Amino acid sequence: DVGKDMDEHISIQRVMPAFRVNFADGASVTLSDDEEKMRKELDSLEIDGYDKYRRYMEMADINLDAGLPLFIEQDWEKGLPVLPKFLINALLHWPLKSHHDQLGEFFESDRMKALFSFQDLYIGLSPYTAPGVFSLLQSIELTNGIYYPIGGFAKIAEKMKTLCEDMGVKIHYDTSVSQIQADPSTRRVQGVRYNHHPSEGEEEEEEKKKKKKKNAEEEAEKNSMSQKKSHDNQLFSADVIVSNADLPYTEMELLRETPETMRDGFEQREKKFKYSSSVVSICWAVKKRYDTALAHHSIFLSDKYRSSWDNVFEPTDRPDLVFPDDYKDFNFYVHAPSRTDPSCCPSNHDSIMVLVPAPPLAEEGGSLEDIRDAEERLKAKAREAVIKRFEDAGMTDFRSSIVDESIRGPLEWKQLFNLRRGSVFGIAHPMDQLSLFRPSPEHPKLKNLFSVGASTRPGNGVPLVLVGAEQVARSILAREDELGAKPAT
């Protein structure tokens, strides 16, 4: 806790309705906290649909109460958690069931089951492989509510950056780490090797500054890492390293020069990892509004719900072949934040982001050129399917209303953010990769190396990543002497 109040820096607003779900035949359901409307909507899908939903949510709330301390907040480095007996009973009753089977205890129709399980994608699993405890996601979204930071997620990063800099944190931009340097004899990491390549704008800015001010201070600055000049393979020494790059990449790329014995056989263990899906992401700027068809959060589901999940999690070098031929067989998520935050686009325009689940990339396969070609076909297929579903949902003239677009596929996600296999949600969250079974944030051999992020504990998603980062920060602060960490000056 650094004594800052989030509310003073970021405005958070509840998203209402929570989301709208569109089925392939054009039917749709809107989920909100308006009991009367919800009863009408859910009873239209299944007899006593609303009452069944309430019973399901009671169980989902218990799973959140139990799952939060056990799977999310528990710092396993500190030992085993103590849970109330009723929560242990709740957990013992569910964990081995898949989320889909668990839903079968409450609902009969596939649509009701689909309504409360597509969120499993957030944890990189299908409803057929996700443990039942992940009904806690519905509790988070529907009982506690979905909240949106005005200005978008970028606003949070921007505010955190300002607060960090105000508190003396030095951030090195346009700098990528190429290696974490370890000393096997001491079982410690010594620092990072980095490449600094200033962006064009930054170089120009620096040139101007240099012309203005050629003084001694600038000379000293030349020797520091923040020097605005290309650097390759420089060493930045550190007492403690916390790697925020995806854990498999940290181990397999950044530590590649470190002997295998110091990496606890990571390469072998990694072969058994199950990875989350990737996505084709599409961002559109549109010169028309589609408020009736799209809520802030909308989901478009295939009616072939089960088969539509097949292959989305199997690594492949030809993801384009896995995508269905019929545009109605895609599942996808749509974000249209201007319903909550008008600042994100000009009036009478819309800002839309679509995520189409796609398989992770196979480790071995065709040439990079072949994978790139497959990716282009994959992106084109996803784009076309989404536009057709939008048109079916009454979004007339959508295609001709697009004024700008950017589309990113698994290979681009992999290359841009060093995400192994292009898995955008890190390693998946099946039972054998959850909590204690998930890679530890503390390196097994190198005692001053830590990891934070989606592929370590507790798991994927911004809130979980932040919970993990806080635990790591507290752990380092509590062990400054043991780690040989000198406070920053």
Q: Binding residues for ligand FAD, per CB under 6 A?
A: 176-177, 244-245, 279, 281, 355, 417-418, 424-425, 453-454, 460-463, 465
Asked if omega into 458 is within 30° of 0 (cis), the reply is: yes
Residue closer to ligand FAD by CB (options 83, 225) is: 225
Nearest CB to ligand FAD, comparing residues 387 and 452: 452
**Structural contact between residues 225 and 196, judged by C-beta atoms closer than 8 angstroms:** yes
Residue with smallest beta-carbon separation from ligand FAD: 453
Shortest Cβ distance from residue 20 to ligand FAD (Å)? Answer: 16
The nearest distance, CB 462 to ligand FAD, in angstroms, is 4
Quickly tell me which residue has 């979905």 as its tokens: 146
- Give me the least distance between CB of 97 and ligand FAD, in Å please: 25
Minimum CB distance to ligand FAD smaller for 301 or for 464? 464
Instruction: Give the Cβ contact number of residue 312 at 10 Å.
Output: 23
Q: Which residue has the tokens 């390293």?
A: 241
The smaller minimum CB distance to ligand FAD, of residues 38 and 136, is found at 136
Q: What gap in Å lies between CA 300 and CA 393, rounded to an integer?
A: 10
17 preceded by a cis bond (ω within 30 of 0):
yes
Cα-based distances in Å from 236 to 161, 258, 335: 21, 17, 40
Q: Tokens 């009478």 identify what position?
A: 348
CB of 464 to ligand FAD, least distance (A): 7
Q: How far is the first Cα of the chain from the last one, in angstroms, to the nearest whole number? A: 19
Smaller CB separation from ligand FAD, 86 or 173: 173
Give the Cα separation of 254 and 90 in Å (integer).
41
390: nearest Cα among 322, 292, 309, 306? 292
CA separation for the pair 133, 71 (Å, rounded): 10
Q: Count Cβ atoms below 10 Å from residue 168 Cβ, excluding itself.
A: 8
Q: How far is the CB of 453 from ligand FAD (least distance, A)?
A: 3
Closest CA to 454 of 464, 467, 443, 442: 464
Q: How far is the CB of 455 from ligand FAD (least distance, A)?
A: 7
Q: What Cα–Cα distance (Å) separates residue 97 from each residue in 30, 110, 125, 131, 132?
A: 28, 17, 14, 6, 5
Residue whose CB is less far from ligand FAD, 338 or 460: 460
Give min distance, CB of 461 to ligand FAD, in A.
Answer: 4
For the CB of residue 111, give the shortest distance to ligand FAD in the complex, in Å: 24
Question: By C-beta, is 59 or 180 nearer to ligand FAD?
Answer: 180
Look up residue 219 and give its two tokens: 């000379």
Q: Quick one: 117 or 276, whose CB is closer to ligand FAD?
A: 276
